[in-house]
Chains A and B, each alone.
Chain A
């Protein structure tokens, strides 16, 4: 059973860079059928897509976050990484790693999420 697990610091200082890793286990990250993405949810609020990456490294980013976001993939470690620079309190959220199915473009598998708080 394929699983996604987010990991990284739970507390980040304002103006610093948020870094998270999603580890894929129980299956291949190099499948041509999927993209791997990050989605966030501020406390008590809705979902926001951050960006997605193909195993080859092709990326799509939310235009509103594009200037601050970098998503990368390490197929040897079955990991997808997220970096969000110059964070503010508005970036406090639960960050989810999720798999999307190509052609149909929906998120069929999600990690449990990790809460990141931006505070000094």
Chain B
């Protein structure tokens, strides 16, 4: 059970859009729509922002969106804001939970 692959870091300027990829295999992401994304600010617990690949929990900004193609899931943040700066983790459920290594988002 290997961790999902995410870029270590991404950056963008306020107002721009960025996309974070999450690559797995045909045994996890490729075989499941149960991909979730979490945002974690320093010193805080993770917070759910996307589940089932593209659904947003109540209260999560519509600037966050998710998608999946084959073995890769993606998180897009549009209209970047300073408060979006955080670590982001993808997670896939296929009998067990597997997390990605995390991506640090820097808002320039």
Contacts and interface: CB of A to CB of B under 8 A. Distances in A.
Interface of A: 37, 39, 45-49, 52, 60, 62-64, 96, 100-101, 104-108, 110-113
B21 interface: no
B12 interface: no
Given A104-B51, A106-B51, A46 B34 contact: no
B45 A113 contact: yes
A54 to B, nearest CB: 14
B97 A105 contact: yes
Contact of A48 (B34, B47, B51, B99): B99
Contacts of A48: 99
B105 interface: no
B65 interface: no
Contacts of A47: 38, 46, 89, 91, 99, 102
A110 B47 contact: yes
B102 A46 contact: yes
Interface of B: 1, 3, 34, 36, 38, 45-48, 51-52, 57, 89, 91, 93, 95-102
A110 B45 contact: yes
B1 A105 contact: no
Given A62-B1, A64-B1, A108-B57, A49 B48 contact: no
A110 B38 CA distance: 11
Contacts of B36: 105-107
A111 B99 contact: no
A37 B97 CA distance: 10
A45 B101 CA distance: 8
Contacts of A100: 97
A49 to B, nearest CB: 4
Contact of B99 (A49, A101, A108): A49
